A and B are shown apart, each in its own frame.
Chain A
Amino acid sequence: AQSVSQHNHHVILSEAASLELGCNYSYGGTVNLFWYVQYPGQHLQLLLKYFSGDPLVKGIKGFEAEFIKSKFSFNLRKPSVQWSDTAEYFCAVNALDNYGQNFVFGPGTRLSVLP
């Protein structure tokens, strides 16, 4: 079965600082990888996803993530964070066997950006 770990429970940054949130998964087969964001009081939204092709994926709001297959990692990055990026971020993996029915999420990383 798949599992997902996220390196940090809570990250605190000042505006304009660079961001990298770690995500590792355990699954030996083919996967889709995702980052979802949950802004305060809002529902989960897709930030970006990897399906195939270029391992460097660009998402909304200046976020990007790099899939490194050898490290089973899918880290999220942003060169310069804004106060509005304050949110909880979830990494997720979807195994593409068994009809891709199961999405497994990490425990989440809370990002606080100080103005």
Chain B
Amino acid sequence: SQTIHQWPATLVQPVGSPLSLECTVEGTSNPNLYWYRQAAGRGLQLLFYSVGIGQISSEVPQNLSASRPQDRQFILSSKKLLLSDSGFYLCAWSSWGADSGNTIYFGEGSWLTVV
């Protein structure tokens, strides 16, 4: 079965420091991968998605970047964190089935607090 792992679960970083959140998926190949940010009362905001190694699409301009160095690895990064980057970040993957369409599955999330 497929699993998704995301780490670290919580992170406290000073303003101006770098960020690296990692996500890996097991049990599937060539998944679509996503980074979302969840804010209270505002649902999930799509930050980045990737359909393959080295292919990244950004949905909103921001202080963050994403990379996909391997098929099942997705990394969210920042060179210099801002206070406004604090939040709950979710990695996800999706699969397509001819008889079931598309479904997206989420990791446990990472709480980032920038101080």
Contact B106–A103 (Cβ < 8 Å): no
Residue B29 at the A interface, CB < 8 A?
no
**Interface of chain A residues 23 through 65 with chain B (CB within 8 A):** 32, 34, 36, 43-46, 49, 51-52
Interface residue range, chain A: 20 to 34
Q: DSSP majority for the B interface?
A: strand
Known contacts A107-B42, A108-B41; A100 and B101 CB within 8 A of each other:
yes
Segment of B10-18, B44-52, B68-76 engaged in the interface with chain A: B44-52
State how many residues of chain B have any CB contact under 8 Å with chain A: 26
Q: Across the interface, do A105 and B101 meet the contact criterion of CB distance under 8 Å?
A: no
Known A49-B103, A51-B100, A94-B101: A105·B43 in contact at CB below 8 Å: yes
The 8 closest A-B pairs by CB, nearest first: A51-B101, A107-B43, A105-B44, A44-B106, A32-B101, A100-B102, A105-B43, A43-B108
